[in-house]
Amino acid sequence: MDKIIYLIGSLRNPKIPEIGKILRDETGYEVFDDWFAGGPDADDAWKRYEETRGHNYDEALQGFAANHIFEYDYYHLNRASMGILVLPAGKSGHLELGYLIGQGKPGCILLDDVDRWDVMYRLANSVYSDLPSLVERILNYG
């Protein structure tokens, strides 16, 4: 099986590329974080564009732009061997992690705030408060 990490997170989190690089350098895994190139305002720009066209949210989700972006992410989710959700993250990120876990693939969470707990994160294989511990787990996993 290919060793591919789908790095999940927020377009607004400037730490994503740095975390991706560290994971690549220290684990030897392929790390898919190319979605970050869309920039921090990608979702807002898409929303403004669709609203200017007179589309509501449901109509916008059926459009070519949404379909293209969805298929791009979906393709890479399917080829990944594991997922890491970097917090803070929004609804899409949590759905992506849930999808990977539902496929039987390992899914981990890298916390940003260890003071705030959520019991449903038990659905993930593990949670980490620091990147070195996560890297160690990846190296021991496979």
Give yes or no for residue 142 having a pLDDT over 60. Answer: no
pLDDT tens-place string over residues 30-76: 999 999 999 999 999 999 999 999 999 999 999 999 999 999 999 99
Nearest one of 29, 23, 24, 42 to 3, comparing CA atoms: 29
Are the C-beta atoms of 109 and 124 separated by less than 8 Å?
yes
pLDDT of residue 116: 85
Q: At what angle are helices 64-79 and 91-102 packed, to 10 degrees?
A: 40
At residue 6, φ and ψ (nearest 5 deg) are -90, 110
Instruction: Report all structural domains of the chain as residue ranges with CATH numbers, in order of start.
Output: 4-141 (3.40.50.450)
Give residue 22's pLDDT band: very low, low, confident or very high (50, 70, 90): very high
Give the whole-number percent of the chain exceeding pLDDT 90: 93
Shortest CA distance to 98 belongs to which of 114, 87, 106, 73?
106
pLDDT band at 113 (very low <50, low <70, confident <90, very high): confident
